[in-house]
Structure 1
Amino acid sequence: MIVSAHAMAMDFTLDVDDSVDEQLLRETMLHVERDLTWADSVFSTFKADSCVSRLGRGEIAVADCPPAVEQVLDLCAEYSESTANAFTAIRDGGQIDPTGIVKTWAMDRVRWRLDALQARGWLWGCAGDAMVSGIGPEAGRAWRVGIAHPEDRFRSVGAIELGRGHTAIATSGTSIHGDHIWTTTGGAPWYVQASVVGDDLIACDAWATAIVAGGESVALAAQEHGMDVLALRMVDGQVVADRSPGWRWAA
C-alpha cells in the first residue's frame, strides 16, 4: 500500500506491505502529517512567525524556542565540524538557516510511528530522500530507489537497492532545488547533484549537501565516515558521474 502526507509544500510517501491494518495506517498518517506540519511551523525560513525566522531577526533566543530547535542546531554544528564547514547552517551575514537537514530530521522524528505499525517492511520517502525498514515489496528483493536526473526530476540516472547494507539515501542538488545550498567561499558549487547512502538519513542529507557545496574532498571524507557516494557533474550538457568504490547500481 502507498499512502502520503502533505507538509512543507511537499508530498511525503509511505510504501508499506499489505499486512498493516488500513484504519491504523490512515490514523498514523494523520499524526505524521501533523508532526511534519509542526516542524514546518517551527523551522520554516519562509514563515515570518517561525522560531527560526524570529531567531534570525534577533527577536528571541534559542532558549525561548522548543527544545527541538537546539537539537537541530546542535546537529548542524556537528555536521559543520565533520565536513570541514562544507555543510553549514549559517548563511552569509550570519542568518541561521538549518534547511539542509530539517526535512530529513522531521522524517526521522516520526520513524517511531512507522515502526509502531509492525509492518514486515516500509519505505518512507520525500523528494530524493528515503529510509527503509524490513523486507521489500517483493519476496527476496530489497527496496529499490531511483536517482533523479539532475536537470529533470522525471528522468532517472539509475536505481539502487536499500536494506542490504545501507538503509537510507539522501540526494541534494542545485539544478532543481538549489536555494538550500551555498558555499562558504562564495564560489559555484562543485557538483550539481550528490546522492549519499548510509544508515542515518539525516547524516546522508547533510553529507549530500556538503558534497555539492564542497566538492571532491568532501565526497572522499563521506566515504571515510562509512557512506557511499554518487556525485554528478554536467559537462557539455552530459551527466558525468563520480562514484565511490562501494556504490552499486541495482540490476
Structure 2
Amino acid sequence: MIAAAHAMAMEFTLHVDDGVDRAALASTMSHVESDLRWADAVFSTFSETSWISRLSRGETTVADCPPAVEQVLDLCAHYKGATRGAFDALSPDGAIDPTGIVKTWAMERVRWRLDDLPAAGWLWGCAGDAVVSGIGPDEGRTWRVGIAHPEHRFQSVGAVTLGGEHTAIATSGTTVHGGHIWAPGGEAPAYVQASVVGTDLVECDAWATAIVAGGEPVALAAQEHGMDVLALRMVDGRIVAERSPGWDWAA
C-alpha cells in the first residue's frame, strides 16, 4: 500500500504492507503532512517570511527562532567539518541555506509517527532519498530501491537493496535540483549525481551533496566514515559510474 503527503512542492511517499489499518494510515499521514508543511514554513528559502529567510537577512536571531533552526544549523556545522568544507549552509552570496539536509531532517523528524503504525515495515521516501524500517516485500524481506538517471527522471541507472546493514539512501545532483549545490571556490561541481547508502538518512544526504560539490576526495572520505557511494560523471555525453568497493547493486 502506498500513501502520500505533499509539502515543500514535493510528494513524500510511504510504502507499507497492505494489511495496515487504513484509518490509522490516513490519520498518520495527515499529521505527517502537517509536520512537513511546518518545516517548510520555517526553512523555505523561497519564502521571504520563513524564519530561515528572516535570519539570513539579519532580521532575527537564532535564539529567537524555533529551536529546530539551531538544531539544523548545528547539523550543518557538523557536516561542514566532517566533509572538510564541501557541505556548507552558506551560499556563495552569503545567504544561510541549509537546503542540503532540510528535507531529510524533516523526514526523520516524523518517523516516530511511522513507527507507531501497526505495520511489519515501511519505506519512507521523497525525490531520491529513502529510509526503511522493519521487513520489506522483496526476497529476504528487504527493500529494492531504484536510482534515477540524472538527466531522465523516469529512467534508472540501477537499484540497491535496503534493509539489515544499510537502511537509508540519499541522492543529490545538479541536473534536476542543483540550485542548492555549489563547489568550493566557485568551480563546477565534480559529479552530476551522487548516491550514498548508510544507516542515517540525514548523514547520507549531507555526504551526497558534499560529494557532488567536492568530488573524489569527499567520496573517499565518506567511505572512511562507513558509507558506500555511487558517483556519476558526465563524460562526452555519457554517464560514467564510480562505485565504492562495498556498493552492492540489487539483482
The TM-score range, normalised by the shorter chain, is over 0.9
Q: Quote the Cα distance in structure 2 between the aligned partners of 1:248 and 1:137.
A: 19
Secondary structure, aligned partner of 1:154: coil
2-structure distance, mates of 1:119, 1:85: 40
Q: Which runs of 5+ in 1 are unaligned?
A: none
Alignment correspondent of 1:237: 237
SS, match of residue 15 in structure 2: strand
Would you say 1:26 and 2:35 are equivalent positions? no
Distance in structure 2 (CA, Å) of the matches to 1:63 and 1:243: 42
Question: Counterpart of 2:173?
Answer: 173
The alignment covers a number of residue pairs equal to 251
Coordinate RMSD, CA, aligned = 0.8
CA distances 1:44-69 after superposition (whole Å, capped 9, x unpaired): 00001000000111100001100000
- 5 Å-filtered alignment, 1:170-209, equals 170-209=170-209
Residue aligning to 1:76: 76
Q: Tell me what 2:146 maps to.
A: 146
Alignment of 1:90-239 (within 5 A): 90-138=90-138, 140-239=140-239
Question: Structure 1 counterpart of 2:40, which letter?
Answer: D
SS at match of 2:154: strand
Q: CA deviation at 1:129?
A: 0.1
**CA distance in 2 between partners of 1:172 and 1:69 (Å):** 22
Aligned-residue identity in percent? 75
Aligned to 1:44: 44
Structure 1 match to 2:2:
2
Cα pair 2:138 2:144 within 8 Å, conserved: no
Question: 4+ residue stretches of structure 1 with deviation over 6 A?
Answer: none
Deviation at 1:139, TM superposition (A): 5.6
Q: Structure 2 unaligned segments of length 5 or more: list them.
A: none
